Amino acid sequence: MGEVFLQSLITGVTVGSAYALVGLGFAIIFNASDVVNFAQGEFVMIGAMSAVSLLAVGLPFVVAIGFALLITVAIGMMLEKFAIEPAKSATVVSTIIITIGASIFLRGAALLIWGKNFHSLPAFSGEIPIHLGSATLTPQSLWVMGVTALMVLLVRSFFKRTVTGKAILACSANPMAASLMGIPVRRMMLFSYGLSAFLGGVAGVLIAPIAFTSYDAGMMLGLKGFAAAILGGLGNPMGAVAGGVVLGVLESLGAGLISSGYKDAIAFIILLLVLFFKPQGLFGRAGSDRV
């Protein structure tokens, strides 16, 4: 029992880190534009698949990853420019459908470009596992956790300390007032989508050596990231990160103790329970209805 627990914890935190990055991206876009971006998972897939392709072309590892992230950021910005901006006055249901449409569109494009095959990246620094008692930890897991922690800290201080970060927060609080104060709201929006895509791409590149990636790998990851953001309380970036890690750990504990086939079901059952009993999320504040 003890070993299962420790191993599940390690796997859970690793997978949870990816959910955390995706969830963080959700929270950033939700804050900036009140849109839940269902295409967030596709950023993960695009980051990973582009890195695989660029590596196969013969680019050095670091360069390939750099370009893959650039491609992902560009696609994130195009999503904002061509799908979100033109539908300014859309309702919640409309934006949900637009972003689901975008995710299906990107998946379709990936299918055309990369086909149905599974791909994976080589591990960043070897495959020799580290033994912790009876459990094992791969170096790649350390990369995933470390880079995720770094990203979270960077994003946090970006919103806290830089003028651009504060400008984005101002846009989310009140876009009208922000634009009157001379903040270019549209550009900030574009930036938020780019940042969010970047985080998704990073998650993709990080987990590609552990989990195989394919054109449809983004869907489940996106949904889990959304679940993480909801668990943490929508619009709370650090809550989304915590929600992601919690989700990853609970899910792999469930998989280890019950059955791996029900892994995804466990994640969503937890989510439903949280929504039923604490709809504002584990770390969110309760709000009230406006008439």
Partner 1 sequence: MRRYGGFLVLVALVVLAPIVFPGNYFVTVVGVTIAFNALIAVGLNLLMGYTGQISLGHAAFFGIGAYSSGLLTTLMGWNAWLALLAGLLAAWLVAEMIARPILRLKGHYLAMATLGFGIIINILMVQPTHITGGPDGLADIPTLTLFGWAIDSDIRWYGVATGVMLLGVWLALNLINSRIGLALRAVHGSEVGAQMMGVDIERIKVRVFVVSALFAALAGSLFAHQQGFISPDSFSFHFSIELVVMVVLGGMASTYGAVFGAAVLTLLPETLVVFEEYEVLILGAIMMGIMIFLPQGLWVSLSQKVKQIIASNRSTTNPSAIS
Residues that bind partner 1 (CB under 8 A): 30, 36, 83, 86-87, 90-98, 100-109, 111-112, 219, 223, 226-227, 230, 234, 259, 261-262, 264-265, 268-269, 271-272, 275-276, 279, 289, 291
Q: How far is the CB of 59 from partner 1 (least distance, A)?
A: 27
How is 101-112 classified by DSSP, letter by letter?
Answer: HHHHHHHHHHHH
37 versus 140: smaller Cβ distance to partner 1: 37
Write the CA distances from 83 to 41, 80, 114, 227, integer angstroms.
Answer: 17, 6, 24, 23
How far is 228 from 247, CA to CA, in rounded Å? 7
Q: How far is the CB of 77 from partner 1 (least distance, A)?
A: 16
145 versus 271: smaller Cβ distance to partner 1: 271
49 versus 83: smaller Cβ distance to partner 1: 83
Q: How far is the CB of 2 from partner 1 (least distance, A)?
A: 27
21 versus 27: smaller Cβ distance to partner 1: 27
Q: Quick one: tokens of 223?
A: 């949904």
φ/ψ of residue 131, rounded to 5: -95, 130
162 versus 259: smaller Cβ distance to partner 1: 259
Closest CA to 12 of 22, 1, 4: 4
Q: How far is the CB of 168 from partner 1 (least distance, A)?
A: 20
How far is 16 from 250, CA to CA, in rounded Å? 9
How far is 73 from 75, CA to CA, in rounded Å? 5
Q: How far is the CB of 43 from partner 1 (least distance, A)?
A: 15
